[in-house]
Amino acid sequence: MSSTLPAKPLLLYFADERANAERIAQAGALNLMQIERHRFPDGELKLRLPEPLPQRVVLLRTLAQPNEKLLELLLVAQTARSLGAEHLTLLAPYLAYMRQDIAFKPGEAISQRIVGQFLATLFDAVITVDPHLHRVATLHEALPAGNTLVLSGAPLLSDLIAAHHGAALLVGPDEESAQWVAKAAERHGLEHAVCRKLRHGDRSVHIELPHCALAGRHAVLLDDVASTGHTLAEAAALLLAAGAVSVDVAVTHALFDSGALGLLGSAGVSQIWSTDCIEHSSNAVSMAASLAQAVALIEAAKPGQYQD
């Protein structure tokens, strides 16, 4: 497994993310090598990295279904350091555990703060796409690595939406989606509005539509992430009942569970589009070129230059 690698960034990846790794490597002319992964009968993992490593290494790991992957990051980062890597960048198109930024009840773990500090101890830089930040203004506040660079899927999703519906009405399913909806709308001068949401549980929500003209409109629900699809389904049904001609869904991170697409279809959603930050049948937009450009920026950056 030993090989002599040129002194340029190496993109490491796991087998389940090979397709995305190849797209990013091709877009950025990066060297690409796979991490060997073995699971023992008792569930423990054994990882093997290529060696020797160059001084600068980029690790691609999308943190959907994150719990075991966080252990992988610990094992990879410390092993990479021991093999000669001096600068480690985590390329995490989806970054988990960013939602809970305060303790809503006494005794709750503030997962954003804990996971953010953990990653900051392992990596010199972190690149991600549309992290779910609410009461925190920048990723660097939650994850104080040397450099943090945040991209957004909203502009590329906006391009796709505009190509299908030149005068679409972009609708955010809740107040937290407002930042992404506004960004997407601005790119093509689209009208946009935001619903109000009252959540009763993971699968129980109440939606109030925005006060704007809906009859005869092609509406597109846009958000950073979707999992069960319940919020989007209720919003879609209400939009159609209010006279919308069609309702499509566009999300950066397709965390959809097994019943989500059926639920959205039953609610009357026509098209479902997502970026390839998380591999899914709805992927319609590739972030590979943007991610490769971000890697190039980080590789040329001084410590602390990017603190998005």
pLDDT at 8: 67
All residue ranges of the chain with pLDDT < 50 are: 1-7
Domain span(s) for CATH 3.40.50.2020 in the chain: 10-152+287-300, 154-285
Helix 67-82 vs helix 111-122: crossing angle, to nearest 10: 20
Beta bridge partners of 11: 32, 58
Q: Which two tokens stand for residue 214?
A: 């809906």
Instruction: Judge: domain 154-285, CATH 3.40.309.10.
Output: no
Give pTM, 2 decimals. 0.93
Considering 8, 69, 105, 197, which one is annotated as catalytic? 197
Query: CA angle, 167 as apex, 196 and 232 as ends, to 5°?
Result: 30
Q: What is the topology classification, in CATH, of domain 10-152+287-300? A: Rossmann fold (3.40.50)
The closest of 102, 65, 94 to 253, measured between CA atoms, is 94
Verify whether residue 197 is a known catalytic residue.
yes
Enumerate the β-bridge partners of residue 283: 274
